[in-house]
Amino acid sequence: MQFRLSPTARQTFLIAIITVIAYGLLLPLTGFYWDDWPFAWIAKFLGPAEFIPAFMPFRPFLGPIFYFTTSLVPPVPLYWQIFALIIRFLIGIASWWMFNQILPTRKTLAFFAALLMLVFPGYSQHWVAYTHINQELIPFLFYLLSFGYTFKALRTQTRTDTVIALLLQICGIFPTEYFFGIEGIRFLLLFTILQGSLTERFARSFKLWLPYLFIWILNAAWLFYYYKFGPYESYEVTATQSPDFMYFLVQALDALWKAGFYIWTQILVLTFSTLPAPASLLTLGLIALSFIFLIRILLHSALPEATDNTFAISLLISSIFAILLGRLPSLAAGLPLTLQSSFDRFMISMMFGACMFVIGLLELLVKNHRTRVIIFSALIALGIGQQFFNANIFRRDWQRQGDIYWQMAWRIPALEKNTVLLAYEIPIDYETDLSFTAPINWMYAPDYTRSDLPYILLYTKRRLGGFTIPSLEKDVQINYPYRTVNFSSSTSNALTLYMPEHGCLRVFDPARGDLTIYSHLPEEITNAIPISDPARIITEVPQPVQPMFFAEPKPEWCYFYAKAGLANQQGDFETSARLGDEVFASGFKPEDAREWLVFVEAYAMNGEFDQAVKASNSALEMDEKTLKAVCTVWEQIQAKAPAGSENAINSARLKLGCNP
């Protein structure tokens, strides 16, 4: 007996396959990003119930969603990425069900629309799972189901379906302001679908929409109160402050261009501009394979349907308004719509309108069934490729995070509490100083219980001169509320770090001449060098810290650099010199010539002056502009070296071109 899946089962299975291909291929190699870290830290150390007070000043209706999901899923990156995959699959299924309710006689078109929603290429934030699953995708799932129940109620004429739709609307609109604008889409769809004259359609649509409008008005009143009189101060509403018609026109056209056209082929621009990079080649290969796979499946399973120009035009007009309504909340807050950045999270509220626009355009322009299937297959394949490309960006970010945390662990095995870590900026795309604060506390205070936060990382580039860091003088008080806990310390407890885009993490020490050696850096960080106190690093500990979730990488240059820096701080120059020998033997080289200086000091203080000169020359060969830095290190060596080494030091300085 041959087993055959029903059409519904086959389509469900296809949604699952596409979900895994688009979002799951690199899943084990992705992790926590951006606000994921603070949220995961809260769940780990304060418990899921903490999200209720934590979100009270910031989207209070979002707290229960976080409480529910974090009670189910432990704060482990892999678990949250799997959970995100499940939510994506459910969004695909919900979209399919919703479009079937909206277009009950157009099953093929409904399925294509759902697949476009599933792989929507304008939204790249799927992998910031802890944050965006809770903050956006779950409320969006509620909204999709609410739309579906509204149109189901049109057929069943049951009050129960309407009540369910209203409850789901509340669950979708109140947790976050992202979806404030899309409620208008419900009216537009009703007006598009209903039959009769324009007046009749408008009257009936408005009557059906009236209870949803009432909830929308309640939400608008709540947002007005909360923004104007409540404690929510993250964004300032600008739309009513300085209305500028040309500005809003440009922003509207920008949203229509990006959501309606550009995002669907954006991946080709991204990959062709970076050829022959392996990631681009892999992405293009996945697009090609996905296209072939989809063509074979959809040409055999998608049934032909008659097209309707009147319906297509109505859908196009509605979709244009839907895109603009989706842009409304972020535009009102004065926030940009920048693709391939954290700001493209605002695309989620334009997703519905963008997919409606595509199906309306193809409904109007492409009448041949085979051609339509080919075009839809191509668009879905491009969406799959875009999401794989995005996944690879987050994979690299996660790998970069692991490198940073391990360098920190190697160089700083333990840390005095109440330490303010100062850095100009850590060059990484999806983490800020407050993002790093959570894993740093996780690493260095693994037994934390509710109290003041032990550590904080602050970027001098952004926070110097403001409320957080008034100045870089000694004894300046630093207080920062971190959700429901507080950090309190002063600049006298500071440790200044520097992480270049190309190079290793370094701890600044004013006693080692770092103010001169790194004088080429921005003053926002060089001014923090004099208050850096490496003595806050606890060098002798029974169990050095280890980063969470990251396996220790194979030792390369930055490992030896960090370990040598720690050994120099302890005065263990013999160990540091031995590490230098391993570096020379292995052939490792830095990306920043100044990183040789740690071994210059180690060798010289260990009495190996020929090796110290060799390390100095290695720095000068990489960058002759480091001569001043090299000579500064030799001045420090001369001041600290034991008696009897003056001649060797003077000889070395003469060889290097330093004035003795």
> What does the pLDDT look like over 526-541, one tens digit per residue?
999 999 999 999 998 8
Q: What is the DSSP string of 223-274?
A: HHHHHHTSS--SS---TTTS--HHHHHHHHHHHHHIIIIIHHHHHHHHHHTT
Number of helices (H), then strands (E), in the chain = 27, 6
pLDDT in tens, 609-653: 999 999 999 999 999 889 999 999 988 888 887 777 788 888 888
User: In percent, how much of the chain has pLDDT > 70?
Assistant: 97
Strands (E), 80-177: none
Nearest-angstrom CA–CA distance, 575 and 337 = 52
Local confidence band at 235 (pLDDT 50, 70, 90 cut-offs): very low
- What confidence tens digit (pLDDT) does each residue in 39-74 have? 999 999 999 999 999 998 878 899 999 999 999 999
pLDDT band at 334 (very low <50, low <70, confident <90, very high): confident
Beta bridge partners of 490: 477
Q: What is the CA radius of gyration of the chain?
A: 29
The answer, yes or no, to whether residue 577 has pLDDT greater than 70, is yes
Residue appearing with tokens 């106190």: 533
Domain ranges of the chain: 10-232+246-396, 415-537, 554-660
Q: Bridge partners of 506? A: 498
Q: Which residues pair with 488 in a beta bridge?
A: 479
Which CATH superfamily is 554-660 part of?
Tetratricopeptide repeat domain (1.25.40.10)
Q: Nearest Cα to 406, choosing from 220, 611, 554, 622? A: 554
* Mean pLDDT, range 577-599, rounded to an integer: 94
The span from the CA of 408 to the CA of 545, in Å, is: 9
Q: Is residue 232 classed exposed, middle or buried when 0-12, 13-18 and 19+ CB atoms within 10 A define those classes?
A: middle
Encoded tokens for 200 = 């009749």
By the 10 Å C-beta count (0-12 exposed, 13-18 middle, 19+ buried), 542 is classed as exposed
Question: pTM for the full model?
Answer: 0.92
Averaged over 356-370, what is the pLDDT? 92
647 vs 575, more confident = 575
Of residues 234 and 286, the one with the higher pLDDT is: 286
Per-residue pLDDT, averaged over 4-13, amounts to: 86
Report the 10 Å Cβ neighbour count for 458.
23
Under a CB-based contact definition with an 8 Å cutoff, are residues 522 and 424 in contact?
yes
Confidence label for 525 from pLDDT (cuts 50, 70 and 90): very high
Q: What is the pLDDT of residues 139-162, one digit of tens each?
A: 999 999 999 999 999 988 889 999
Contact 96, 50 (CB under 8 A): no
* Tokens at 418, concatenated: 């109440």
Residue 306: what pLDDT?
Answer: 80
Q: And the tokens for 655?
A: 């060889």
pLDDT surpasses 90 at 192: no
Report how far residue 471's alpha carbon sits from residue 493's, in angstroms, rounded to the nearest whole number: 14
